[in-house]
Chain A
Amino acid sequence: MKIDSIHTLEKLKEKSFKKVYLRNPNEAIYDDQKDILVCGGTGCIASDSNQLIKNLNLILKARGYDHKVNIIKTGCFGFCEQGPIVKIQPDNIFYVKVVPKDAKDIIDQHIIGGHQVERLLYKNPTNEERIHKHKDIPFYKKQLRIALRNCGRVNPEDIYEYVAFSGYEALGKALAKSPEEVIDLIKKSGLRGRGGGGFPTGLKWQLTRESEGDIKYIICNADEGDPGAFMDRSILEGDPHSIIEAMIIGGYAIGANHGIIYIRAEYPLAVERLNISIKQARELGLLGENIFNSNFNFEINIKYGAGAFVCGEETALINSVEGRRGEPSNKPPYPAQEGYWSRPTCVNNVETFANIPPIILNGPDWFSSIGTKESKGTKVFALAGKINNIGLVEVPMGTTLREIIYDVGGGIHKGHKFKAVQTGGPSGGVITEKDLDTPIDYEHLAEIGSMMGSGGMIVMDETNCMVNISKFYMEFIMDESCGRCTPCRVGTKRMHEYLQKITNGEATMENLDNLEQLAYMIKDGSLCGLGQTAPNPILSTLKYFSDEYISHIKDKVCPTKECKELSTPKNREVQI
């Protein structure tokens, strides 16, 4: 079957709806059918959720209930700390830390007996009470899931489930408009790039459209370089069709017939799901020629990265897609003017794309009503480190860091004390207690010396040494510097050497001054964003925790004892 009009899509949606009606909150349910949703994200699979699914299926069969219950393997629910997650619909019951042997109780007690399995319910850490409903769990209360709307809701390997939740409707709508109208709509929504730069997406589309040339390309940046973040990966694994749909819309808007997804080879599950989705979309005529009978043709193929952080930078990415060393090029010309094979090319991030279909479906006013003055919509963060609720969260722009850390994140791990939070990964900086009430958006985060980045958010407590953490980031950058420009290649090495000296207790105060000067030189002298932002972790920790640096240097003491060389008995004796 081919979808050749909005009308056939509507019909398919109706037909597919019976697959998902139990999961629709507005549906009144009169039968005793159930859906058991099991998280198939990387974290939960690591905790054996595949075996759990096998067990559930076996027991269902043995009890003769397999015709009444569907087991659906979904993408990430976000609440990774409590994984593996199981959700029963339409009951809206949310089970946490479910291990394979719990399958028996879920089927016998809940499905057959009609009683919830009390011990698997999430326990509210503040009052020890069990919480029954998914929607009542504090972790989810302040979240608003737009980019993650389908993660934990659909089977990502089934295009019909995506269609049942309005999938590809935005594409149909967009193709009925002119490309300029689509661009206008995105501009009006206020959507800005989620890959870190925050460049207005509609404007980027317009610039690429207006560039001379009959062949253009649209690229999805799925290189996700921040080492400690997994937003893009989870979207690709949990809702691959939304990215494909958005790329077709983007292609139509800018005038490209060819899309490329540049993805890390280290993400095998995401790659597999993308391949499945592309094949399914082709079979339904959503990719290929004359899509929705509109004369618009579009194809997507996948290109693999090979483990180089700098390839997340768009010009380096394009060099890599062309099969070369992924070194950045000078801008201008910008990719929108001269990109892949010197043709106008639009590069967008995965999460940016994930926002496109809802904007088209619900309208730009809906989207721009969420967020702050300059930053509209939501942002996904990979919340990790010394925090209770590690996981993937999506909050409206303007939510404060305190709300994310304490309300959504459930506060600091094991009753420890908050020390700092790092956003922006190795290009960002630390934020301390005094700035926790800052509303999250591009401008405010930059004002307090950090940046939005792509969504890594690492919380640190009083046992983390700030010198050690900047050394960690510097080591990463030093390894990843592509070597093309000297300030970055040599400079990051020198900075790392200084940090090594400090954590070994061998540095002088003069070294510290040199380190700071060097940091500013590299910031100004590097060719691409990697080098230009590399000193940020050092500069921001120096700003807020200079006493910690000084203690390492003058007293030869690491206050947190994290630096081993400065916490051995030998050194302590010297101190006395």
Chain B
Amino acid sequence: MPNVQIEPPHSDLPREKFEQLSSYIDSLDTARGALIEILHKAQDLFGYLPRDVQLFVARKIGIPAAEVFGVVTFYSYFTTSPKGKHTISVCMGTACFVKGSDEIFQAFKEKLNINSQETTKDGLFTLNNVRCIGACGLAPVVMVDEKVYGKVTLEDVEHIINTYRKEDSI
């Protein structure tokens, strides 16, 4: 697409990430229909999609900011708040649900003292629920970052949390 130079906003967000995003957009044949790809890229770079990033994308490809905002809020994959160091995803697919994953999810909420989509105060954990990760044979399933824990019991919950707490304090 034609090179449109847009100054990154004055914010605490790293300037070089805006530059990377900018050159990614320039490398596309066309920005027509590419908003979702661009937002995926932006979320990869920044970890989330703060207002400033959304505005930057809107100005760069020349569409109303409201349209960008509308797309970001529509899709659950996009998040507007920063993620914790580790993301705990409890599978709430049907296969996991019938094997009691809601109790596991509840236990994580209580032990971490946060709700779904929230991050602990120390910034260590974000809690999520996901739908079927394809490991139904191991239901109920919990994923921490990329690592999958299968046949999780209520007793395992504390243990999983502590593994990452310990790792982090070293």
Contact = CB atoms under 8 A, between A and B. Distances in A.
A326 B132 contact: no
A384 interface: yes
Contacts of A323: 32-37, 71
Nearest to B98: A385
A111 interface: no
B137 A390 contact: yes
A303 B95 contact: no
A303 B76 CA distance: 16
B148 interface: yes
Nearest to B141: A46
Interface string A437-470: 0000000000000000000101010001000010
Nearest to A234: B134
B70 interface: yes
B76 A230 contact: no
A458 B95 contact: yes
A386 B97 CA distance: 11
23 contacts: A42-B134, A42-B135, A43-B138, A80-B137, A80-B138, A228-B95, A228-B131, A266-B77, A266-B130, A306-B36, A306-B39, A306-B40, A306-B76, A308-B75, A322-B33, A324-B71, A325-B71, A341-B33, A390-B139, A391-B137, A458-B94, A476-B131, A479-B76
A363 interface: no
B75 A425 contact: no
Contacts of B95: 228, 382, 384-385, 390, 458
A482 interface: yes
Interface string B91-133: 0111111110010000000000000000000000000001111
Contact of A47 (B70, B75, B96, B150): B150
B74 to A, nearest CB: 4
B157 interface: no
Interface string B65-81: 00100110011111000
Interface string A225-248: 011111001100000000000000
Nearest to A41: B134
A456 to B, nearest CB: 7
B98 A458 contact: yes
Contacts of B45: none
A43 B134 contact: yes
A319 B94 CA distance: 28
A418 interface: no
Contacts of B97: 228, 469, 472
Chain B CB within 10 Å, residue with most, of A46, A229, A305, A422: A46
A425 B98 CA distance: 13
A81 interface: yes
A306 B94 contact: no
A303 B132 CA distance: 21
Contacts of A234: 134
10 closest A-B pairs by beta carbon, nearest first, are A228-B94, A80-B137, A384-B95, A306-B75, A46-B148, A227-B131, A307-B77, A323-B35, A230-B134, A42-B134
B134 to A, nearest CB: 4
Contacts of A479: 76
Chain A interface size band reads: 35 or more
Given A227-B92, A456-B94, A460-B98, 14 more contacts: A42-B135, A80-B138, A227-B132, A228-B93, A228-B94, A230-B136, A234-B134, A266-B133, A306-B40, A320-B36, A323-B32, A325-B74, A384-B137, A385-B95
Contacts, number: 127
Contacts of A320: 36
Interface string A305-321: 11110000000000011
A250 interface: no
Contacts of B102: 472
Chain A CB within 10 Å, residue with most, of B70, B99, B132, B134: B134
Contacts of B37: 303-304, 323
A534 to B, nearest CB: 15
B94 A422 contact: yes
B65 to A, nearest CB: 15
A502 B77 CA distance: 32
B97 to A, nearest CB: 5
A176 interface: no
Contacts of A559: none
A304 B40 contact: yes
Given A47-B150, A323-B71, A325-B70, A384 B94 contact: yes
Interface string B27-60: 0000011111101100000000000000000000
A482 B148 CA distance: 30
A226 B97 CA distance: 13
A81 B151 CA distance: 11
A382 B148 CA distance: 19
Interface in A352-401: 382, 384-386, 390-391
A226 B133 CA distance: 11
Contacts of A386: 98-99
A458 B132 CA distance: 12
A43 B150 CA distance: 9
Contacts of A226: 94, 132
A307 B75 contact: yes
B94 A472 contact: yes
A490 interface: no
Contact of B74 (A230, A308, A391, A476): A308
